[in-house]
Amino acid sequence: MTQLVWFRNDLRAADNPALTAACKSRHPLKACFIVTPEQWREHDWSPARVRFVLDHANALSEELSGLGIPLSFITASRFTDSVEKLEEFCRRESIRHVHFNEEYGVNERRRDKAVKQALDDTGIAVNKYRDQTVAPVGSILTRQNEPYSVFTPFSRRWRSWIDEARPTLFPVPEPVGDPVEPARYDDYPPGFDNPPPGLVAIGEDSAHQRLEQFLDNRVGDYKNLRDLPSVDGTSLLSPYLANGVLSGRQCLIAARQHQGLGGNQEGLATWTNEIAWRDFYINILYHYPRVSMHRAFKPETEALKWNTPGEKFEAWKAGNTGIPIVDAAMRQLNQTGWMHNRLRMITAMFLTKNLFIDWRLGEAYFMSKLVDGFLASNNGGWQWSASTGTDAAPYFRVFNPATQSERFDPDGEFIRKYVPELAKLDNKRIHQPWTSGVIPGRYPRPIVDLKESRKEAIAKFQALKN
Ligand SMILES: Cc1cc2nc3c(=O)[nH]c(=O)nc-3n(C[C@H](O)[C@H](O)[C@H](O)COP(=O)(O)OP(=O)(O)OC[C@H]3O[C@@H](n4cnc5c(N)ncnc54)[C@H](O)[C@@H]3O)c2cc1C
């Protein structure tokens, strides 16, 4: 009675509910990973993410081979084809039972429903597990059993759930057989060429090392440094978390252990709150599938008439808007496949409020570049910034990117790194070079008037109420 673990957004052996459950059955065990390049293209996956995922699928294959679990790579161009391919694979390998961890995007849910139906029809059992969040998705509800749409009460309930339930980790399974030869997938799919150099090391061990080093050495300063893009003040664990190499539970439990050992309580609490944000947005995706279908969480904002993207959108993408902090941020994204959180908010607000360009275009562009592209958080972050989402920034509170720049990059260190044209400007002029007459080199003048565009955006949101 051979069993199969189907790995998807959970590329790890430790703390993996589907793998642990399958191992417990003590039947022969196989694993698979389905490569779906067309689907990845439709979901705007970046070359950086595709490389990261395939490298980790190969690393997982090696890890599982030591446990006696052979991992097979199946190729299907899209999710719809993966149903048939998986069924074929199960028939060929005499699989009688399939285990996988749930995913919450609309296309993922449709695929999983179709897979279950097809396998049920052929007498193959299917078991699904809730894995992506610390508290099982859908379990954090208001007293009226409704989903939360505001973060702060969600996080309060989330923390008390953790205190009561005391979640634990699923252990790395014991070997189920002799080591096997690991399969590898080395056919890099076309269209995902030239990824930026890897940002973090490959492998579950590397993810855990980064987590431990962050908690041992840097979390104490997290509250003070997390908003400064020139400083290594955040964990840079997002590529691992977004692709399931590390779980939210592992982060939460490691942070709690450090709290118990007397680690910096304020830093740990602030960082743990970010794990709650991640869970919050996954719950939004789960309860409100419309957000993964390009729909605004706040339906009334669908009436906004966004500007035609055109040249200004191109300038934003390339980091040539004439607003130094926005340009530095966009160039960081384009060159590294990652952007600092404070800068994600600044660039998203600039696109949606100053240029008044549709958040969906920004969301897709981020996805097409990020190594940590994650539908729930990316959509949540964009809709927050555009004031169309749950618990969104109030529409009248529009960041001024120049003021944000003075506050969070006071010495212009980050700007100098990514916008070398401005490197010689002093710390005052570097944030708003256009105010001092001569703009150096070929650096552009601002493509939009910050004050006027802010007023116009507020008026357009205000008009929705009339
Ligand atoms: C417009 C916009 C788009 C975003 N797109 C993504 C995305 O595609 N993928 C993604 O993982 N995050 C996204 N974020 C959230 C956040 O910017 C990144 O998670 C963070 O910058 C990752 O860096 P880190 O690992 O050093 O974070 P840390 O500060 O060390 O935080 C630890 C972890 O908590 C989670 N986290 C932190 N902040 C948030 C947040 N605001 N929302 C949800 N989870 C959070 C991440 O998993 C992160 O790795 C986006 C935010 C905005 C405003």
Predicted local confidence at residue 34, as pLDDT: 98
Confidence of residue 109 (pLDDT cuts 50, 70, 90): very high
Domains of the chain: 2-129 (3.40.50.620), 132-168+205-287 (1.25.40.80), 299-464 (1.10.579.10)
Residue 11: pLDDT over 80 = yes
Known catalytic residue: 266?
A: no
Whether the CB of 132 sits within 6 Å of ligand 1:
no
Q: Which amino acid is at 103?
A: E
Task: Tell me the average pLDDT across 191-204.
Answer: 93
Q: How far is Cα 199 from Cα 190, in angstroms, rounded to an integer?
A: 21
Task: Tell me the average pLDDT across 145-166.
Answer: 96
Q: What percentage of the chain carries pLDDT values higher than 70? A: 100
For the segment 363-403, what is each residue's pLDDT rounded down to a tens digit?
A: 999 999 999 999 999 999 999 999 999 877 788 889 999 99
**Residue whose token pair is 């990973």:** 33
For ligand 1, atom 30: residue with the closest CA: 235
Predicted local confidence at residue 246, as pLDDT: 98
Whether the CB of 134 sits within 6 Å of ligand 1:
no
For the segment 433-464, what is each residue's pLDDT rounded down to a tens digit?
A: 998 777 777 899 999 999 999 999 999 999 99
pTM of the entire predicted model: 0.97
Whether the CB of 392 sits within 6 Å of ligand 1:
no
Confidence of residue 320 (pLDDT cuts 50, 70, 90): very high
Whether the CB of 275 sits within 6 Å of ligand 1:
yes
CB 367 within 8 A of CB 344: no
Predicted local confidence at residue 395, as pLDDT: 85
Known catalytic residue: 274?
A: yes
CB 228 within 8 A of CB 195: no
Alpha carbon of 350 to those of 20, 246, 403, 428: distances in Å? 45, 32, 13, 21
Q: How far is Cα 64 from Cα 71, in angstroms, rounded to an integer?
A: 7
Known catalytic residue: 277?
A: yes
- Taking the CA of residue 362 as reference, the ligand 1 atom at the shortest distance is 1
Whether the CB of 45 sits within 6 Å of ligand 1:
no
**Ligand 1: distance of its center to the CA of 377 in Å?**
7
